[in-house]
Amino acid sequence: MLVIQVLLLVVVLVVGVLLVRSTAGARHQAVRRLLLGALVALAVASILVPTAVTAVANVVGVGRGADLLLYGLVVAFLGFVVSSYRRSRALEETVTQLARRLALDEAPTPEQARHHEGDGPAAGA
């Protein structure tokens, strides 16, 4: 198996674990910032020394630097999808909890319900 295949498999498995696992807080933010910094550094390096990308690609078993960049973008996109999915799930949970709380807060008390029973359309019939 080629080095790039092993690396990509590991990354996909890690993304899968992150999708299932619940992480949040300062540690998660720090990891995201470190990854963003690494991405910016790699982008700058690939712009300044494009032949280096091809050299790295050859070392890990990819024929062209463009292919290696594509693999990197696929992995970054996967990370984005996982992050967006988790954020969306957290927001859905928050909205559900708020809707439940609001429904309970606005629900009439038993006394109010009894008082309004006589106000319905059947009361005048």
Per-residue pLDDT of 74-113, as tens digits, reads 888 888 888 888 889 999 999 999 999 999 999 888 888 7
**What percentage of the chain reaches a pLDDT higher than 70?**
83
CA angle 86, 87, 90 (to 5 degrees): 85
**pLDDT tier for residue 10 given thresholds of 50, 70 and 90:** confident
Contact 7, 60 (CB under 8 A): yes
Name the nearest CA neighbour of 79 among 13, 26, 2.
13
Could you give the CA distance from residue 78 to residue 17 in angstroms, rounded to a whole number? 12
pLDDT in tens, 20-79: 665 556 777 777 777 777 777 777 777 788 898 899 889 989 888 888 888 888 888 888
The pLDDT assigned to 42 comes to 76
Could you give the CA distance from residue 111 to residue 125 in angstroms, rounded to a whole number? 23
pTM: 0.60
User: Between residues 16 and 115, which one has the greater pLDDT?
Assistant: 115
The pLDDT assigned to 114 comes to 81
pLDDT in tens, 51-60: 988 998 899 8
Residue 11 burial (CB count, 10 A): 17
